[in-house]
Each structure stands twice: as structure tokens, then as C-alpha cells.
């Protein structure tokens, strides 16, 4: 029953090729609005709020990446998505990576945005732990207010302050248990790097030009480990490339989808 509480949003005809979008941390399905609006006339676009974020429930907040992939598998089965193309950003990419490792035969394609295949380093694990400690001691709003600006290029925050503030405002209102649960899940994820060379479905790797968390050089190296993958850089964008430069981002994924699935 718990999986049915995940909030799922579908746009377009279910007769079309499904594209399943997985958002990053600490955001929600709205980060894909520009892509869904453009693609829904040609594809069956499915978004959802990862457990604990957006309007999906936090429950006890004891999440693992495996439980996130269980949720994703439930959506694929429940919505009868025939070999969907997974499109995940950052944490959504971690979920997509593990999903393709677990059940590649159920998937049609893979779009990985501003993410990485490696698990957290020891330093990264300590940073996640510090985030949980800070939420417990100082509250969610301070954590979000300090974390979210790093996800965007400074120019976007300055030039598109209304859109940025809308995103920030939604994140500030999440259940703290859900945010902490996501930090725990990301901290405990496995290394999927050894599997990269075995991925056989069409794959596209995308990175924001100014991404501080997963810089283009690192993502380019990762893409070379995936056979026949395509790589693209989004000009002027930070970690949230679909939001910061939606026109270029959407054209790149639209071209990729048209090439392989039309």
C-alpha cells in the first residue's frame, strides 16, 4: 500500500513512448515542467514526487536507494509503461542508475543529467550526516536556504529570481523527515560504475556547463564508460540544467528521443 501513496503525474497519450522523469534533491516533479509541456504531444510523460519530497509522504523517513527503486518499479508496473526512457537528474540519476542495473530489460533508454555513478566518498558521507544534524538542530529552512543556491549558476538566480524563489519556496515547505530520509538514502547508495560498460540501451549524458557538484569533465569521463552513449553540455547552466536552460536542454533530449524511439 505504501507505494500507492507516491504522487504520480502523467501527461500525453499512453499510446506514445513513455518517458519517466525522476527529479533531483531537494526538489519535486515541477522541475520537469518545461520538458513535459514540450514533449507531451509526442510522448507519454510521467513525473512523480520521490518519497518524502513534494507531495509524496515522508512516512518514517527511513529510506534507502533500493526503496526508491522499488517505488520506481511500482510506477512502471502500475502505469503499464512499456520500456520507458528514464530521465533522472542528480539523486534522480542515482535512482535511474540502480534501476537500470536491477532491471535493464524493462527499460528502453536512459537520460542521465548532472549525476554520477560512484557512491559518496567518506567526506561526502560525513557531509550528508552533517546535513541531518543541522536539520535536527537548526531546522529545515536553514539547511535548504544554504543548500539550494549551490544547485544553480549565479546568473540564473540573479536573472530569473522569480522562478528560483518559487522553487526555493516549495523546498522550504517539505517534511523534514522526508529530506533527512533522502540524505540517508543517498549516503547509503552503492557503486554502479562497474555496470556502466554493460549498459546496452540508448543513453544520453547531460551536464550543466557550470555544475559545481558533477562537473562536465567528470561526467564526460563517465559517459565514455557507457557504450555508444551521447554526451551534451548545457551552456550557462549549473546543476539544475533542465530548469536553468530549458530550451537547449529540451531540444537535446527531444533530438535523442526522435533518433532512437520514433
Domains: count for the chain:
1
* Domain assignment of residue 205, given as a range: 2-261
Q: What mean pLDDT comes out for the span 78-83?
A: 97
Give the dihedral of Cα atoms 244, 248, 250, 252; nearest 10 deg.
-130
Q: Name the least confident of 3-12, 124-133, 154-163, 181-190.
A: 3-12
pLDDT tens digit string along 198-246? 999 999 999 999 999 999 999 999 999 999 999 999 999 999 999 999 9
Mean pLDDT of 237-261: 98
* Predicted local confidence at residue 3, as pLDDT: 55
The mean pLDDT value for 107-122 works out to 98
**221 within 8 A of 11, measured Cβ to Cβ:** no
pLDDT single digits (tens) 162-207: 999 999 999 999 999 999 999 999 999 999 999 999 999 999 999 9
H helix count then E strand count, the chain: 11, 7
Distance of CA 202 to the CA centre of its chain: 18
Please give the pLDDT value at position 114. Answer: 98
Please report the pLDDT score of residue 5 as a whole number: 87
Pairing mode of beta strands 8-11, 18-22: unpaired
Domain CATH code at residue 213? 3.40.50.1820
Mean pLDDT of 1-15: 83
**pLDDT(1) > 50:** no
* Beta-strand relationship, 203-208 and 230-234: parallel
Say which DSSP state 117 is in: S
Please compute the mean of the pLDDT values over residues 60-66 and round it to a whole number.
96
Say what the pLDDT of residue 4 is.
Answer: 55
Residue 150 in contact with residue 32, Cβ under 8 Å?
Answer: no
What pLDDT digit, counting tens, does each position of 32-59 carry?
999 999 999 999 999 999 999 999 999 9
Dist CA 229 CA 143 (whole Å): 36
Strand ranges, E, within the chain: 8-11, 18-22, 44-48, 85-89, 109-113, 203-208, 230-234
Amino acid at each position: 500500500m505504501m507505494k500507492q501513496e507516491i504522487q504520480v503525474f502523467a501527461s500525453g497519450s499512453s499510446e506514445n513512448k513513455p518517458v519517466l522523469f525522476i527529479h533531483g534533491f531537494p526538489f519535486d516533479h515541477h522541475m520537469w515542467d518545461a520538458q513535459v509541456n514540450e514533449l507531451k504531444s509526442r510522448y507519454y510523460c510521467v513525473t512523480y514526487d520521490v518519497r518524502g519530497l513534494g507531495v509524496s509522504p515522508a512516512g518514517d523517513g527511513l529510506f534507502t536507494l533500493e526503496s526508491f527503486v522499488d517505488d520506481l518499479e511500482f510506477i512502471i508496473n502500475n502505469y503499464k509503461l512499456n520500456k520507458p526512457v528514464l530521465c533522472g537528474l542528480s539523486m534522480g540519476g542515482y535512482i535511474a542508475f540502480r534501476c537500470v542495473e536491477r532491471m535493464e530489460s524493462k527499460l528502453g533508454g536512459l537520460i542521465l543529467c548532472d549525476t554520477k555513478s560512484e557512491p559518496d566518498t567518506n567526506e561526502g558521507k560525513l557531509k550528508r550526516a552533517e546535513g541531518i544534524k543541522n536539520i535536527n538542530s537548526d531546522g529545515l529552512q536553514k539547511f535548504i536556504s544554504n543548500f539550494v543556491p549551490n544547485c544553480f549558476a549565479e546568473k540564473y538566480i540573479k536573472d530569473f529570481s522569480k522562478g528560483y524563489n518559487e522553487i526555493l519556496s516549495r523546498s522550504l515547505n517539505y517534511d523534514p523527515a522526508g529530506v533527512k530520509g533522502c540524505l540517508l538514502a543517498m549516503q547509503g547508495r552503492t557503486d554502479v560504475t562497474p555496470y556502466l560498460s554493460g549498459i546496452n540501451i540508448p543513453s544520453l549524458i547531460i551536464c550543466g556547463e557550470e555544475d559545481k557538484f558533477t562537473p562536465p569533465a567528470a561526467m564526460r569521463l563517465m559517459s565514455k564508460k557507457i557504450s555508444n552513449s551521447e554526451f551534451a553540455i548545457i551552456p550557462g547552466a549549473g546543476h539544475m540544467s533542465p530548469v536553468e536552460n530549458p530550451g537547449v536542454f529540451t531540444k537535446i533530449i527531444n533530438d535523442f528521443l526522435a533518433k532512437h524511439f520514433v
